[in-house]
Amino acid sequence: MTEAEEINGTEVEDDEQDSKQKKSDAKRHDDGAADLERVTDYAEEKEISAANISSAVEQFGNQRNKENELRVAKEKELQKVQVKKEDIELIMNELLVSKSHAEKVLREQSGDVVAALEAIISN
């Protein structure tokens, strides 16, 4: 009994030493990680002089509004297309695609389910 205990005791000590060793090892290996950590540090933004930029802001704003209008018009066009729920489900089920993808393709093919199926399998 006592003998066994002694052995256990020494083992515990060994383990402690091991873990110390491991710790120092870990530190050595993780130096790089500390450097990487700094990548996410907080940093102040750099400002530029505000001269003459308001017109640019306006110009880009207009440009973007135009883009948005175009996009909205295109989306509206697509939304106008009549699609059947069962067609969407057929596409989803046969081709294992998401609902949004099935619907999009179906609308692009003006609601023609055969054309939509073909469009997906031939790309």
**99-108 and 85-95 helices cross at what angle (nearest 10)?**
120
- List the interface residues with another protein, window 2-31 (CB under 8 A): 18-19, 21-23, 25-27, 29-30
* CB closer to another protein out of 3 and 47: 47
Query: How many chain residues are in contact with another protein, going by CB under 8 A?
Result: 48
- List the interface residues with another protein, window 28-87 (CB under 8 A): 29-30, 33-34, 36-37, 39-43, 45-54, 56-57, 59-61, 63-64, 87
Give the DSSP H/E element, type plus range, for residue 115.
helix 113-121
Task: Compute the distance between CA of residue 95 and CA of residue 89 in angstroms, rounded to an integer.
Answer: 10
Provide the 10 A C-beta neighbour count for residue 117. 19
Provide the 10 A C-beta neighbour count for residue 51. 6
Listed in sequence order, the residues at least 6 apart from 120 whose beta carbon sits closer than 8 Å to its beta carbon are: 91, 95, 97, 105
Interacting span for another protein (CB under 8 A) from 6-14, 74-82, 88-96, 103-111: 88-96
* CB closer to another protein out of 2 and 28: 28
**Single-letter amino acid code for the residue at 120:** I
Chain residues binding another protein by CB under 8 A are: 18-19, 21-23, 25-27, 29-30, 33-34, 36-37, 39-43, 45-54, 56-57, 59-61, 63-64, 87, 90, 94-96, 113-114, 117-118, 120-122
